[in-house]
């Protein structure tokens, strides 16, 4: 593929050199006005060095958890749209996809206004089903969407949210949505009470995907609890990185969390994962401490990572009913 000569190509490779560190580009963004979000997302992606070559097939993976009133549990449509517009300017072939907990990606997108936001761009919205069987390094088996596995690159576009099981969820946990359909609930049921097995699963699913970069929606975050039902928290920032792990590390620091607070971060550090340590990161724009996230409320106690078998059955029945209903 030839390198695109448009504005998104100016910073070169999407992967920063190991000696220089991994760039996490943080910039302020006060609201979801399209022009404001475009400017912030473009600035962050450019400064992070994210510039896929023309013709690259990119899966944009937002968090489309479910159709919740106000859409706070999902990535905001304007951030997803800005990510897609940037990639289209690079000459990429863009698809937006997720495997929601309830309903299809398109039904959630319609409920939160994402389909309207993307309509002028002509970017399709797909449900990440049709699983390919993957044996992970730990020996666990999982069904990951073939579309996710077979694309050239993935851009994880999460909303910064509190999480009742993970304490905080961002770019790495968002990639669990590439696991197809009810297999996510099955993974919780099978692995959730086996020590760190579920956290290991999250890490290894992320590593099984094509190269992943991240753009975080931290304009209005969700604190107190999650992944749904929390409260709006005006964090006022957008951030980008060529590594979802580096992105998450910077945001953990921004919100005053420690590796002991965040089980997934502890797992990543135990594996000596690139981007999981402060010394791996560089900040071409703002530093984490420049964003006032100290009042962000993390859940005090965590619920078990396992799902009761009845919850698994309920999830399967709801997904089947909604598929029949169309």
Q: What is the pLDDT of residue 3?
A: 32
- Band (186; pLDDT cuts 50, 70, 90): low
Query: What percentage of the chain reaches a pLDDT higher than 90?
Result: 70
End-to-end CA, the chain: 39
**pLDDT tens digits for range 135-157:** 889 888 889 999 999 999 999 99
Please indicate whether residue 310 or residue 112 has the higher confidence score (pLDDT): 112
Contact 250, 241 (CB under 8 A): yes
Sorted by sequence, the CB contacts under 8 Å of residue 127 that are 6+ apart come out as 97, 98, 99, 100, 104, 105, 106
> What are the backbone dihedrals phi and psi of residue 95, each rounded to the nearest 5 degrees, phi first?
-130, 140
Q: What is the pLDDT of residue 170?
A: 97
Helix runs in the chain, H state only: 34-47, 77-89, 105-112, 114-118, 146-150, 171-174, 183-191, 197-208, 244-254, 263-270, 309-325
**pLDDT tens digits for range 239-286:** 999 999 999 999 999 999 999 999 999 999 999 999 999 999 999 999
Whether pLDDT at 5 is above 50: no
Output the six-digit token pair for 322: 């909604």
Q: How far is CA 185 from the centre of its chain?
A: 18
Domains of the chain: 21-305 (3.40.50.11440)
Contact 136, 204 (CB under 8 A): yes
**pLDDT tens digits for range 29-86:** 999 999 999 999 999 999 999 999 999 999 999 999 999 878 999 999 999 999 999 9
Q: What is the pLDDT of residue 181?
A: 64
- DSSP lists the bridge partners of residue 179 as 144
Please indicate whether residue 132 or residue 29 has the higher confidence score (pLDDT): 29
Q: How far is CA 262 from the centre of its chain?
A: 16
Q: What is the pLDDT of residue 306?
A: 56
- Band (304; pLDDT cuts 50, 70, 90): low
- DSSP lists the bridge partners of residue 125 as 96
Read off the DSSP letter of residue 48: T
Q: What is the pLDDT of residue 69?
A: 76
What pTM did the predictor assign? Answer: 0.88
Cα–Cα dist 50/247, whole Å: 13
Cα–Cα dist 86/25, whole Å: 15
Q: Rounded mean pLDDT of the chain?
A: 86
């Amino acid at each position: 593929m030839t390198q695109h000569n448009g504005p998104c190509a100016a910073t070169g490779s999407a992967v920063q050199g190991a000696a220089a560190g991994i760039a996490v580009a943080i910039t302020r963004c006060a609201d979801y006005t399209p022009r404001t979000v475009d400017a912030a997302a473009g600035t962050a992606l450019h400064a992070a060095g994210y510039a896929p070559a023309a013709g690259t097939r990119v899966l944009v993976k937002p968090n489309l958890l479910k159709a919740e009133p106000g859409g706070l549990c999902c990535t905001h449509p304007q951030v997803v749209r800005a990510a897609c517009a940037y990639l289209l300017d690079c000459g990429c072939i863009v698809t937006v996809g997720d495997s929601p907990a309830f309903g299809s990606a398109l039904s959630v997108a319609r409920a939160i206004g994402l389909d309207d936001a993307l309509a002028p761009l002509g970017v399709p919205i797909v449900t990440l089903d049709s699983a390919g069987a993957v044996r992970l390094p730990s020996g666990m088996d999982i069904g990951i969407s073939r579309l996710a596995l077979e694309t050239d690159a993935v851009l994880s576009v999460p909303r910064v949210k509190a999480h009742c099981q993970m304490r905080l969820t961002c770019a790495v946990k968002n990639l669990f949505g590439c696991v197809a359909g009810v297999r996510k609930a099955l993974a919780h049921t099978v692995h959730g009470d086996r020590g760190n097995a579920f956290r290991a699963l999250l890490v290894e699913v992320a590593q099984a995907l094509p190269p992943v970069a991240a753009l975080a929606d931290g304009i209005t975050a969700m604190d107190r609890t999650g992944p749904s039902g929390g409260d709006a928290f005006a964090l006022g920032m957008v951030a980008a990185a060529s590594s979802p792990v580096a992105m998450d590390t910077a945001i953990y620091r921004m919100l005053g969390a420690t590796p002991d607070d965040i089980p997934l971060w502890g797992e990543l550090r135990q594996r000596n994962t690139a981007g999981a340590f402060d010394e791996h990161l560089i900040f071409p724009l703002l530093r984490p401490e420049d964003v006032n996230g100290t009042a962000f409320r993390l859940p005090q106690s965590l619920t078990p990572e396992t799902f009761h078998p009845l919850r698994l059955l309920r999830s399967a029945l709801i997904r089947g009913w909604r598929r029949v209903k169309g």
